[in-house]
Amino acid sequence: MLSRTKQDYLKNNGWSSSKFFDIAKYIIEALESKDFELDFGRTVIYIKKINKLIKVYVHFNGRSNDYITFTDSKGYELQSFHYSVNANDILKFILIQF
């Protein structure tokens, strides 16, 4: 389990992921309604279901906070998204991973 809570994340406008904050709120609600488990850290969010885990980062490999990057459980990059991307496109990507 990571060191932060969903409430910490929401209260702090997503910390450095603030450009994705509205997208993140939408995706968090959608994933929780589908029984995904989410763990929050200051720089990462873990998305879990059954025996699978993906991680979400901003600033991955030195990128600006204009991008979020999804990695597998071992840290291999799966996909990055710019904050201008539609939230449903990101949600579809997440759901395909599981």
Query: What are 52's strand-pairing partners?
Result: 49
pTM: 0.93
From its phi and psi, is residue 11 left (phi > 0), alpha (psi between -120 and 50) or beta?
alpha
Q: Tens digit of pLDDT for each residue in 66-83?
A: 999 999 999 999 999 999
Report the alpha-carbon angle 37-43-49, nearest 5. 15
Domain 6-97 has CATH 3.30.920: yes
Are 22 and 13 in contact, with CB atoms under 8 Å apart?
no
Return the higher-pLDDT residue of 64 and 1.
64
pLDDT at 1 over 80: no
The 10s digit of each residue's pLDDT in 28-59 is: 999 999 999 999 998 899 999 999 999 999 99
Q: Which two tokens stand for residue 33?
A: 């309604």
Report DSSP state, residue 87. H
Other beta carbons within 10 Å of 27: 21
Contact predicate 68/24, CB 8 Å: no
pLDDT at residue number 58: 92
